[in-house]
Amino acid sequence: MTLGHQPSMFDVAEEAALTPLRGRVRRHVLSRGAWVDHLPGWVTGSDEVLEALLGDIGWRADRRQMYDREVAVPRLLRWYGRGEVLPHPLLAEARTALDAHYAPELGEPFVTAGMCLYRDGRDSVAWHGDRLGRSRTEDTMVAIVSFGSPRPLLLRPVGGGEGRRFPLGHGDLVVMGGSCQRTWEHCIPKTTRRVGPRISVQFRPAGVA
Ligand SMILES: O=C(O)CCC(=O)C(=O)O
Ligand SMILES: [Fe+2]
């Protein structure tokens, strides 16, 4: 797989690290009990994490039925269930930090890590809410850490209304919370701009998908 990321031997390897969450995450209150927390640059030295994620970690091209044909979903996927070792230690640290920061509000830990690899601007995810589990009926949180090329996360209220746009760059954090999965939808649109690979790491509580 050629993904266009070519670290040079002259790169100064900055060790991946988390910056504090408290007092730095900005909450954007949306309508109908939904909110989005955003912290650009939460992770520093993200290159080594990106490199690990672009490695051979078992990315799969899922297929789905579309009318009378089966088509490949336009991104690669890798799902880490409870207890599975994540491909870079910083990701376990990130989950621990998210638990410490959000547990009082969320009331339970983040357990799974779903990952999407957008190989270039043709990869995307269409408008949807993460509503396959308890999130169909309950408030919850989905915390996303983004690595690689910047792509915007778009949100819009279900049924119409003014949307929001959050740029997601290398090492940025975004958390969708409250009723966001039920009352709003989100997507990562395709782009004709030349963009390199982006990986999204989504932490969710058990039973939320
Ligand atoms: O790429 C992203 O950050 C969002 C992915 C997403 O919405 C999903 O997998 O449910
Ligand atoms: Fe989603």
- ipTM for this prediction: 0.99
185 pocket-lining for ligand 1 (C-beta < 6 Å): no
Instruction: For 22-44, write each residue's pLDDT tens digit.
Output: 999 999 999 999 999 999 999 99
Residue 186 Cα: closest atom of ligand 1: 7
Q: How many CB atoms lie within 10 A of CB 7?
A: 11
Is the CB of residue 17 less than 8 Å from the CB of residue 45?
Answer: yes
Residues with CB under 5 A from ligand 2 (ion): 130
Domain 21-204, classified CATH 3.30.1490.270, yes or no: no
Q: Report the separation in Å between the CA atom of 117 and the middle of ligand 1, taken as the mean of its atom positions.
A: 10
- Residue 130 has a pLDDT of 96
Measured from the CB, is residue 188 less than 6 Å from ligand 1? yes
Angle at 158 between CA 157 and CA 163, to 5 degrees: 25
CA–CA dist 144, 173 (Å, integer): 6
pLDDT (tens digit per residue) in 134-155:
999 999 999 999 999 999 999 9
Parse the chain into domains and list their residue ranges.
21-204
Percent of the chain with pLDDT over 70: 94
Distance 202 CA to ligand 2 centre (A): 8
